[in-house]
Amino acid sequence: MSTLPLFLAEDLGELPASGGPLELAGPEGRHAATVKRIRPGERVLVSDGRGAVAEAVAGESGRDSLMLDVGPVRRSEAPAVRVAVAQALVKGDRGELAVETATEAGADELIPWRAARSVARWESGPRGDKALARWRTTVREAAKQARRPWIPDVAEPVDTAGLARRVRGADLALVLHESATEGLRDVALPGAGTVLLVVGPEGGIDDRELDALTAAGARTVRMGPEVLRASTAACVALGALGARTARWAPAIETR
């Protein structure tokens, strides 16, 4: 049996815990009714992207809407260990691949990093806004595909000084780097709080950037003898963190 498709409805959390009628409208309603062609009687999942999720039975549909009879609403608690991924900008489709796979692997936040050696450049203005919007759309769709009740946040882009400030605010900050002597599996992880995972561009992290991040409190780590692409490193590291923490345990749900 295939997993039920998931649709997003920001007002799901306004329903009582027992559920009730809900209209799926806008782009999600159009996608459900016109693209997915959900028919009356079909079962789907619906989430507000902030932990609330429920099964629902489809009712009548319009061109841009679908009525749902929502069952009991459950709430999945956010993980105790929150992982934010600072992803250096990567040229072309590989940037979207990086955020897509990181989302599927469980990242709780994506931070676009304007690294010195990034080929891609997000300048301030319409072009930069469009690139950021693409990341946010990619994250949203990847979270739906993975049936995640929580949609990761996508922060505004930061330069290295801004990233250093994020390092200082994290409970643990790890920079993936090929020169590191410490393995990711050997790092003591916090039982709660934020782990910041920094992934550099395909040209590598500039020495001055690395100095700035480690001076702010980050530690350099490596995952193994291989050197991974900038577009896949976060996904692999998130898998390692998922296995080493309770992040991959069954979700705790409350009514």
**Based on the domain organization, do 41 and 97 belong to the same domain?**
no
Q: 153: which strand partners?
A: 109
**Based on the domain organization, do 95 and 29 belong to the same domain?**
no
Residue 253 pLDDT > 70 = no
What is the average per-residue pLDDT within 235-244?
91
**Based on the domain organization, do 71 and 106 belong to the same domain?**
no
What is the average per-residue pLDDT within 10-37?
92
**Based on the domain organization, do 72 and 91 belong to the same domain?**
no
User: What b-and-e string marks burial along 129-140, b requiring 16 or more CB atoms within 10 Å of the CB?
Assistant: eebbeebeebbb
Residue 55 pLDDT > 80 = yes
Confidence band, pLDDT 50/70/90 cuts, at residue 37: very high
For 80-108, how does the pLDDT look when each residue is reduced to its tens digit (9 = 90+)? 999 999 999 998 888 899 999 999 999 99
pLDDT at 111: 98
For 112-135, how does the pLDDT look when each residue is reduced to its tens digit (9 = 90+)? 999 999 888 887 788 889 999 999
pLDDT over 70 for what percent of the chain? 96
Helix boundaries (H) for the chain = 26-30, 93-105, 126-145, 160-169, 207-215, 233-244
**Based on the domain organization, do 129 and 192 belong to the same domain?**
yes
**Based on the domain organization, do 109 and 234 belong to the same domain?**
yes
**Based on the domain organization, do 113 and 199 belong to the same domain?**
yes
Residue at a domain's end among 49, 76, 103: 76
pLDDT at 225: 81
**Based on the domain organization, do 46 and 120 belong to the same domain?**
no
Residue at a domain's end among 76, 108, 126: 76
pLDDT at 210: 97
Residue 247 pLDDT > 80 = no
Residue 253 covered by a domain:
no
pTM equals: 0.90
Residue 255 covered by a domain:
no
Residue 142 pLDDT > 80 = yes
State in Å, rounded, how far the first CA of the chain is from the last one. 26
Residue 192 covered by a domain:
yes
**Based on the domain organization, do 163 and 197 belong to the same domain?**
yes
Residue 71 pLDDT > 80 = yes
Residue 154 covered by a domain:
yes
What is the average per-residue pLDDT within 127-156?
94
Residue 254 covered by a domain:
no
Interatomic CA distance for residues 54 and 73, integer angstroms: 5
**Based on the domain organization, do 161 and 233 belong to the same domain?**
yes
Mean pLDDT of all residues belonging to the chain: 91
What is the average per-residue pLDDT within 205-233?
92
Between 2 and 198, residue with greater pLDDT = 198
**Based on the domain organization, do 53 and 125 belong to the same domain?**
no
Residue at a domain's end among 60, 76, 92: 76
Question: Helix axis angle, 126-145 relative to 93-105, nearest 10°?
Answer: 40
CATH of the domain at 158: 3.40.1280.10
Containing domain of residue 175, as a range?
Answer: 81-248
- How many domains, the chain? 2
**Based on the domain organization, do 240 and 153 belong to the same domain?**
yes
Residue 254 pLDDT > 70 = no
Residue 40 covered by a domain:
yes
Residue 255 pLDDT > 60 = no
Confidence band, pLDDT 50/70/90 cuts, at residue 244: confident
CATH of the domain at 53: 2.40.240.20
